[in-house]
Amino acid sequence: MKKIALITGATSGIGKATAEIFAQHQIDLIICGRRKERLDLLASELSSKVNVTTLCFDVRNKDHVFEQISSLPEIWKNIDILVNNAGNAHGLAPTDKADLKDWEDMIDINVKGLMYVSKAIIPQMVERKTGHIINLGSIAGKEVYPNGNAYCASKYAVDALNVGMRLDLVQHGIKVTAINPGLVETEFSLVRFKGDEERAKNVYKGVTPLTAQDVAEVIYFAVSRPAHVNIADVILFPTAQASSTIVNRII
């Protein structure tokens, strides 16, 4: 039977690449993000392959998240796969200098946003005794690095929520998977450095980083395992990376 996936942050990077690979494998899509034009464009590109609908919301807006998800027509309500991907880093500065608003945004988006979307979708999975939740963590949620402070805290929270979901939802037959990448070249660094293209490019200087497609392939691998197999937790690095801080740059 055809499955339905809801992907947050599908307008760019890992979320967009995941939507594309899911469409190639006949998974119907609910694609989400704030940038409506991008959602509409992606929907029109993928709708020759699968059924696609869009939901435009900011994951920080709790009421809007619940309204949008409950507004889905009946045929879209049975979501089999939730990809909790929306998120970003904002800033890279030491604790004493970091912007408090950046810190608040990362907690509001990466942690609270993921909680709102999950709480809006999990009840029907519990009722149907099936479902698969993919949470995008990060190596930043396994090892803190200098100046990573609140971004790392947000991804450590995702790591804990991932384990918590798996422990609590196992009795309902729901799979929960964490995908924790290292360096992936997307719009991530451009957002982190507030549009500073030079600084964003430097993050990947001398390395071949992962692509969004590399991560999406691992996500598709996880969702395409047989019913009795759950990929619980994956760390995914470019070959040149060994930890949050050890990167073999050839410059």
Applying CB under 6 A, the residues found at the interface with ligand 8X3 are 138-140, 148, 182, 244
* Smaller CB separation from ligand NDP, 135 or 169: 135
Find the shortest distance in angstroms from Cβ 148 to ligand 8X3: 6
Task: Choose among 91, 116, 82: nearest CA to 222.
Answer: 82
* Smaller CB separation from ligand NDP, 40 or 127: 40
Q: CA quadruple 106, 109, 81, 19: dihedral positive or negative?
A: negative
151 is catalytic: yes
Cα 50 to the center of its chain, rounded Å: 21
Taking each continuous run of H as one helix and of E as one strand, the counts in the chain are 9, 7
Find the shortest distance in angstroms from Cβ 188 to ligand 8X3: 6
227: phi then psi, degrees, rounded to nearest 5: -55, -30
Find the shortest distance in angstroms from Cβ 40 to ligand NDP: 12
Find the shortest distance in angstroms from Cβ 94 to ligand 8X3: 15
204's contact among ligand NDP, ligand 8X3, none, with CB below 5 to 8 A by partner kind, is none
By CB under 6 A, name the binding residues for ligand NDP.
8-15, 33-35, 58-60, 85-88, 109, 136, 138, 181, 183-184, 186-188, 191, 212
91's contact among ligand 8X3, ligand NDP, none, with CB below 5 to 8 A by partner kind, is none
Residue type, position 124, single letter: Q
183 token code pair: 């360096």
- Beta bridge partners, 135, equal 84, 178
Find the shortest distance in angstroms from Cβ 215 to ligand NDP: 7
Alpha carbon distance 148, 140 (integer Å) = 8
87's contact among ligand NDP, ligand 8X3, none, with CB below 5 to 8 A by partner kind, is ligand NDP
Helix, strand, or coil here: 112?
helix
Alpha carbon distance 7, 165 (integer Å) = 18
86's contact among ligand 8X3, ligand NDP, none, with CB below 5 to 8 A by partner kind, is ligand NDP
244's contact among ligand 8X3, ligand NDP, none, with CB below 5 to 8 A by partner kind, is ligand 8X3
Tally of CB atoms within 10 A around 176 = 25
* Smaller CB separation from ligand 8X3, 131 or 182: 182
Helix, strand, or coil here: 177?
strand
Q: Which listed residue (116, 145, 151, 204) is catalytic?
A: 151
Task: Choose among 235, 211, 194, 177: nearest CA to 89.
Answer: 194
Closest residue to ligand 8X3: CB criterion: 138
Q: Which residues have a catalytic role annotated? A: 151
